């Protein structure tokens, strides 16, 4: 119930649209009941009039039938329009809300999640919450209002029939779905977990295909994906079968409700308490009343899977961040980077950095070297405040990182990482992540510095060229140089380079190094690399050793 309350709180900004959608749904249901009732009365009365048993005024009921038919069709169209718009608005709010919660967690707080599982929560679980309004809130509220209105009207006509219909609606819309949920209690969570596992394993297969081929593990991963798919299909099949069974059971209850209504009404007609047209009107109204609870079995079927998706999202959003932004940030002063006797150990692990001290001012560059696992990339992560040091302090622009606002910290650092993150947008959109208001001329100048201008200009759409998923339309060297251009646009005083030429051929490596040399002019530059050509960019080197204190190396190395 706590998950449901949080979902309702997220729906609160759209409550009037949701209420309007429910009102339209109620209008559809009541107009359908009224249409069936008036049609039953009218057809029966016409038959009796043809036999000369009564006199009938034709035009009023005919107009009512036409009006109710038009009302039902129009209300149904508007209800679909309003409810789907409200659902899309909810999803559009939910995904940025989740992203906002994830920003303080990345990367430290997300290290225990596989990329595929994270993707499943961001896409599959968020999309599953469209059921909150379409299949949960809307049908339940509409059933309560419309069903109550039908029972109230029947009570004004003849209260025993109203009691019978109320009992039938409670059984068909309450008892049957509750029994259905008892059978489906585990299926919803099982489907959600199976879908998430399938997406995670599929992501590992597609994104890690090259590594799987190297280790000869492609077939094993394919079999694992197939097994996950089989488990999800089995859970969905069970849910579908149970849904069909209980839908049929609900229909059986509805037919029994109509039969009981006939049993109650026939003596009233025989005693001339009711006329034949009135009996036909009431029987068809009882039959149409089943529509008011028709959506409740589907709501129950989606309840557990929707709540399981909500639980996975809230578990992710509620994780505490490794670092907390200060509520009273201090403004940065003169550019300077200082690490003062910094030591660090990952949670539950050995010490990675021990007693590291360094100082950088604009125009200076420093390279960190050492064996794999010595903590080189960890230093860059500490400078970006993905973690806080276990001991010592780090300051940027004269202010401890813990006292800087997140905006000032991110604005003071530009990063060229060995794993360049590119989005499925245009070249211009990916560049403007660093400077949203940059002109096209500024973008071309940045590409010129990264030795990428000619290649982009040769593309048919130039800056408007779409890069594909993860920048798939660019080569590794082009992606790395695009990262250099993006860092140039940011104009931050501190430049962090993490193996910026890893995996590049000699010619592309030379182009990237030339761009980095221009980019680092007048900035502080902290470099992590083991390539001699990149080390040449640094004025000073420091050897990191995971088992001892950090030692400076000769500047001539």
Q: Is the separation of the CB atoms in 493 and 437 below 8 Å?
A: no
Residue 191 scores a pLDDT above 90? no
pLDDT, mean of residues 492-519: 83
Residue 217 is assigned to a structural domain of this protein: no
Distance CA 365, CA 380 (A): 14
Distance CA 30, CA 316 (A): 42
Query: In this model, does residue 487 exceed pLDDT 80?
Result: yes
Distances (CA, A) of 520 to 277, 443, 476, 482, 523: 91, 18, 22, 16, 5
Mean pLDDT of the chain: 85
Task: Let me know whether 345 and 237 are in one domain.
Answer: no
State the pLDDT at residue 186: 66
Asked if residue 350 and residue 271 are part of one domain, the reply reads no
pLDDT at residue 551 greater than cutoff 60: no
pLDDT at 169: 94
pLDDT tens, position by position, 343-362? 998 877 788 888 888 889 88
pLDDT at 408 over 90: no
Percent of the chain at pLDDT > 90 equals 27
* Structural domain includes residue 222: no
Sheet-wide strand order for 351-360: 351-360, 337-345, 391-396, 399-400
Cα gap 147→160, rounded to integer Å: 16
Domain count, the chain: 2
Residue 348 shares a structural domain with residue 274 = no
| 255 plus 366 within the same structural domain | no
257 and 302 part of one domain: yes
Band the pLDDT of 555: cuts 50, 70, 90.
very low
C-alpha–C-alpha distance, residues 241 and 8, integer Å: 30
Task: Tell which of 282, 317, 352 closes a domain.
Answer: 317
What is the tens place of the pLDDT at every residue in 160-169? 999 999 999 9
pLDDT band per the 50, 70, 90 thresholds, residue 552: very low
Per-residue HEC secondary structure of 115-165 comes to: HHHHHHHHHHHHHHCCHHHHHHHHHHHHHHHHHHHHHHHHHHHCHHHHHHH
Average pLDDT over residues 85-91: 87
Please list, in sequence order, all residues whose beta carbon lies within 8 angstroms of the beta carbon of residue 66, skipping any fewer than 6 positions away: none
Q: Is residue 331 part of a domain?
A: no
Lowest mean pLDDT among 50-59, 215-224, 261-270: 50-59
Q: What is the pLDDT of residues 289-311, one digit of tens each?
A: 999 998 888 777 777 778 878 88
Quick one: pLDDT band at residue 114, thresholds 50, 70, 90?
low
Q: What is the DSSP string of 344-363?
A: EE-TTS-EEEEEEEEEE-TT
**How high is the pLDDT of residue 66?**
94
pLDDT at 556: 34
Query: Cα 450–453–458 angle (5° rounding)?
Result: 145
For residue 89, the SS3 value is: helix
List pLDDT tens digits, range 8-44: 888 888 889 889 999 999 999 999 999 999 999 999 9
Tell me, what's the pLDDT at 301?
73
Whether residue 93 has pLDDT greater than 70: yes
In a shared domain, residues 392 and 276: no
519 and 389 in a common domain:
yes
**Residue 206 resides in a domain:** no
Q: Which of 317, 351, 366 is the C-terminal boundary of a domain?
A: 317
Between 504 and 29, name the one with better pLDDT.
29
pLDDT digits (tens, 9 = 90+) for 220-255: 999 999 998 998 888 888 888 888 888 889 889 999
pLDDT at position 206 is 81
Residue 326 lies in a domain: no
What local confidence, expressed as pLDDT, does residue 548 receive? Answer: 47
Whether 46 and 184 share a structural domain: yes
* Residues 402 and 276 reside in one and the same domain: no
Answer yes or no: do 439 and 480 share one domain.
Answer: yes
- Residue range(s) defining the domain that contains residue 77: 2-193+233-317
Q: 342 and 313 in one domain? A: no
Question: What are the pLDDT digits (tens) for 536-548?
Answer: 888 888 888 755 4
Spatial separation of the C-alpha atoms in residues 36 and 415, rounded to whole Å: 69
Task: Indicate the residue among 256, 285, 317 that finishes a domain.
Answer: 317
Question: What pLDDT score does 469 carry?
Answer: 76
Q: What pLDDT, on a 0 to 100 scale, did the predictor assign at position 167?
A: 95
Cα–Cα distances (Å) from 214 to 66, 209, 210, 267, in that order, read 70, 9, 6, 83
Asked if residue 374 and residue 500 are part of one domain, the reply reads yes
Query: Looking at the predicted structure, is the pLDDT value of residue 452 above 90?
Result: no
Inside any domain, residue 515: yes
pTM for the structure as a whole: 0.70
CATH for 186: 1.20.1560.10
514 assigned to some structural domain: yes
Residue 411 belongs to a domain with what CATH number?
3.40.50.300
Q: Is residue 325 part of a domain?
A: no
Tell me: the pLDDT tens digits for 59-73?
A: 888 999 999 999 999
Separation of alpha carbons 305 and 186, rounded Å = 9
Q: Is the pLDDT of residue 123 over 80?
A: no
Q: Is the pLDDT of residue 189 over 70?
A: no
């Amino acid at each position: 119930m706590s998950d449901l309350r949080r979902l309702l709180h997220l729906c609160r900004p759209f409550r009037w649209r949701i209420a309007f959608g429910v009102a339209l749904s109620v209008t559809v249901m009541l107009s359908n009941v009224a249409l069936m009732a008036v049609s039953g009365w009218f057809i029966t009365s016409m038959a009796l009039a043809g036999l000369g048993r009564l006199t009938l005024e034709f035009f009023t009921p005919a107009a009512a039938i036409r009006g109710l038919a038009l009302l039902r069709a129009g209300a149904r169209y508007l209800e679909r329009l309003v409810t789907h718009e409200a659902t899309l608005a909810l999803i559009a709010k939910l995904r940025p809300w989740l992203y906002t919660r994830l920003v303080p967690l990345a990367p430290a707080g997300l290290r225990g999640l596989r990329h595929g599982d994270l993707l499943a929560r961001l896409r599959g679980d968020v999309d599953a919450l469209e059921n909150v309004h379409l299949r949960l809130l809307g049908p339940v509220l509409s059933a309560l209002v419309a069903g109550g209105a039908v029972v109230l009207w029947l009570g004004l006509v003849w209260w025993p029939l109203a009691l019978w219909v109320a009992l039938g609606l409670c059984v068909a819309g309450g008892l049957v779905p509750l029994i259905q949920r008892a059978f489906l209690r585990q299926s919803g969570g099982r489907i959600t977990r199976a879908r998430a596992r399938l997406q995670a394993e599929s992501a590992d297969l597609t994104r890690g295909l090259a590594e799987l081929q190297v280790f000869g593990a492609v077939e094993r991963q394919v079999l694992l994906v197939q097994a996950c798919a089989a488990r999800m299909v089995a859970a969905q099949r069970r849910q579908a079968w149970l849904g069909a069974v209980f839908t049929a059971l609900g229909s059986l209850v509805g037919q029994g409700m109509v039969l009981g209504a006939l049993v109650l009404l026939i003596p009233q007609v025989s005693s001339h308490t009711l006329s034949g047209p009135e009996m036909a009107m009431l029987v068809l109204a009882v039959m149409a009343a089943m529509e008011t609870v028709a959506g409740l079995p589907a709501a129950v079927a989606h309840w557990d899977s929707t709540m399981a998706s909500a639980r996975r999202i809230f578990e992710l959003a509620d994780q505490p961040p490794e670092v907390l932004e200060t509520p009273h940030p201090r403004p940065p002063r003169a550019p300077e980077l200082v690490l003062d006797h910094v030591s660090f150990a990952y949670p539950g692990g050995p010490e990675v950095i021990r007693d590291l001290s360094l100082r950088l001012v604009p125009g200076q560059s420093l390279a960190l070297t050492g064996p794999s696992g010595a903590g080189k990339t960890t230093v860059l992560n500490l400078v970006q405040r993905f973690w806080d040091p276990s001991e010592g302090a780090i300051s940027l622009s004269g202010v401890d990182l813990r006292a800087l606002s997140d905006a000032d910290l991110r604005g003071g650092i530009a990063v060229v990482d060995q794993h360049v993150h590119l989005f499925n947008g245009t070249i211009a959109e990916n560049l403007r992540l660093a400077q949203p208001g940059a002109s096209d001329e500024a973008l071309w100048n940045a590409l010129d510095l990264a030795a990428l201008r000619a290649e982009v200009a040769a593309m048919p759409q130039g800056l408007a060229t779409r890069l594909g998923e993860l920048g798939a339309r660019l080569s590794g060297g082009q992606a790395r140089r695009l990262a250099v251009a993006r860092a140039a646009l940011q104009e931050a005083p501190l430049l962090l380079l993490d193996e910026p030429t890893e995996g590049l051929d000699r010619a592309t490596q030379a182009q990237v190094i030339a761009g980095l040399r221009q980019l680092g002019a007048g900035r502080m530059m902290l470099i992590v690399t083991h390539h001699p050509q990149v080390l040449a960019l640094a004025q000073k080197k420091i050897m990191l050793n995971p088992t001892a204190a950090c030692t400076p190396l000769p500047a001539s190395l």
